[in-house]
Amino acid sequence: MKIARFAIAFLGVLAAARGAHAGAREEAAAKSALKSAHAQHAGKHYARALQILSRAETACEPDQCSPTTLAMLLRDMGTMQVLSGSEDKARGNFSAAMSFDASIDLDPAYASDDVRRVWNDVKSPGSDQPSGDFDHKPPAAQKQGVPLPVYVEYHGSAHPASVVVRYELNGSYRRLELVRVGSGFGNVIPCGAVKLGAVRYYFQGFDGEGLPILESGDKRHPFSVPVKASIDGPLPHLPNHRAPTTCGEGMVEEEEHAEESTSPQPTTPNASKGFARLWIGLSGSIDFTVVPGGSDVCARDPQGNPIDSNWACTSDTPTQGADFPKDATEAATLVQGQSGKVLSGVQGANVRVKATLDYAVTANLLVGVAIGYVANAYQGSVSPKFAPIHVEAHGAWVFGDEPLAHSGFAPYAEIAGGVAEFDTNLTITAEQSTYAGSRPVQAWHVGGPGFVALEGGLRYAFSQRAAFLLGARATLAFGIGVFPAFGPDATLAFGF
Domain boundary among 221, 253, 270: 270
**pTM: predicted TM-score of the whole model, two decimal places:** 0.51
pLDDT digits (tens, 9 = 90+) for 352-404: 999 999 999 998 999 999 999 999 999 899 988 899 999 999 999 999 888 99
Distance between CA atoms of 461 and 471, rounded to whole angstroms? 14
Q: Are residues 166 and 231 in the same domain?
A: yes
CB 355 within 8 A of CB 371: yes
Q: Inform me whether the pLDDT recorded for 310 exceeds 50.
A: yes
CB 65 within 8 A of CB 22: no
pLDDT digits (tens, 9 = 90+) for 415-435: 999 999 999 999 999 999 988
Q: Which CATH number covers residue 86?
A: 1.25.40
Dihedral sign for Cα 251, 257, 258, 259, please. positive
Burial class (CB in 10 A: 0-12, 13-18, 19+), 459: buried
Residue 420: name the closest of 368, 480, 490 by CA: 480
Q: Are residues 266 and 300 in the same domain?
A: no
Structural domain boundaries enclosing 264: 142-270
* Percent of the chain whose pLDDT exceeds 90: 53
Report the length, in residues, of the chain.
496
For 265-344, list the strands marked E by DSSP.
278-291, 294-295, 312-315, 341-342
Query: For residue 218, is it within any domain?
Result: yes
Q: Inform me whether the pLDDT recorded for 56 exceeds 80.
A: yes
Q: How many CB atoms lie within 10 A of CB 106?
A: 20
Q: Which CATH number covers residue 371?
A: 2.40.160.20
pLDDT value of position 254: 40
DSSP secondary structure letters along 233-266: SPPP--TTSPPP-STT-SSSTTHHHHHHSS----
At a CB cut-off of 8 Å and minimum separation 6, what does 40 contact? 46, 48, 49, 52
Query: For residue 88, is it within any domain?
Result: yes
Number of domains in the chain: 3
Distance between CA atoms of 352 and 391, rounded to whole angstroms? 11
Arithmetic mean of pLDDT, 190-203: 90
pLDDT digits (tens, 9 = 90+) for 213-270: 999 998 878 899 988 888 888 899 999 888 988 876 665 544 443 343 333 333 333 3
Distance between CA atoms of 77 and 49, rounded to whole angstroms? 8
Residue 446: name the closest of 297, 253, 319 by CA: 297
pLDDT value of position 123: 75
Instruction: Report residue 251 CA to chain centroid gap.
Output: 34
Q: How many CB atoms lie within 10 A of CB 199?
A: 24
